[in-house]
Amino acid sequence: MKISIIKIGGNVIDFPEKLDEFLALFAKFPGHKILVHGGGVLASRFGESMGVMPEMVDGRRITDKDTLDIVTMVYAGLINKNIVAKLQALKVNAIGMTGADGNLIRSIKRPVKGIDYGFVGDIQEINTELLDTLLSAGLQPVINAITHDKKGQLLNTNADSISSALATSLAKDHHVNLYFCFNKAGVLVDEKNEHSIIPLINEDIYAELRKENVIHSGMIPKLDNAFDALKKGVQHVWIGKAENLLLAAKGKTSGTTIERQRYDLY
């Protein structure tokens, strides 16, 4: 089975028109597919309105009890069910899920090592049998960034990490491609210049760009997860603008491709 894992972030979700445009593309995307979403921008806005200010470290959210309540309501409720309803209107038989549903994603609370991330989950296990069953039945899972520890505790888990973990787990038995869709044209040399796309990044180039602080903040976990996925059997990883998703599916030039193989680009 060929499976595509497609992740969208809060900068797409936060704008209704952009979300509608993306979901129309997702509906046309060929083959078996799984949509993974976060929603950090909207969660931060809701939190601020309730006096809970977001705290981020290297692009990852510190999640205390109040923040966990907010992200659960926003990710698993408002955003997830809105996406599922919109996809149903596009004749995509979507099913919305947290990691707790069907024991889909089991995590453990991240140990404190210098930074206490609070109720943040590190993924331990993916229920690939459940995903196989759903995909074979013609359902398209829409998975949000809430997982569980199988002891009754929900955990906030980075959506990029979830995408990578889903991809690597399914890659053991299937041909899997991974797509990270967000509001930029790709990984950029200058984040203010949409034309400064880095078309291909390998591990050596990534290390140099991090050293030069060209790549920082939320792009770091995204690329860390991309390389981890490639090392564990995923065939292809792409990062780019949500509106270019179908171009990427057809192999046309757009966005940034992540490769393990060494290329002498510089």
Alpha carbons within 13 angstroms on the beta-carbon side of residue 234 total: 28
The pLDDT assigned to 83 comes to 97
Number of residues assigned to the chain:
266
Spatial separation of the C-alpha atoms in residues 99 and 119, rounded to whole Å: 14
pTM of the shown model? 0.90
The set of residues, in sequence order, having a beta carbon less than 8 Å from that of 66 and lying 6+ positions away, is 47, 50, 52
The pLDDT assigned to 154 comes to 98
Under CATH, which architecture does the 2-258 domain have? 3-Layer(aba) Sandwich (3.40)
Summarize pLDDT for 78-124 with one digit per residue, the tens.
Answer: 999 999 999 999 999 999 999 999 999 999 999 998 899 999 999 99
* Token digits of residue 245: 């998703």
Q: Which helix (H) or strand (E) holds 130?
A: helix 128-136
Spatial separation of the C-alpha atoms in residues 137 and 93, rounded to whole Å: 10
- Mark the ranges of the chain whose per-residue pLDDT is less than 70: 58-59, 252-253, 261-266
So where are the chain's domains? Answer: 2-258
The pLDDT assigned to 261 comes to 57
Which residues in the chain belong to E strands, given as ranges? 2-8, 32-37, 56-57, 60-61, 94-97, 105-109, 121-126, 140-143, 146-148, 154-156, 175-182, 200-201, 236-241, 256-258
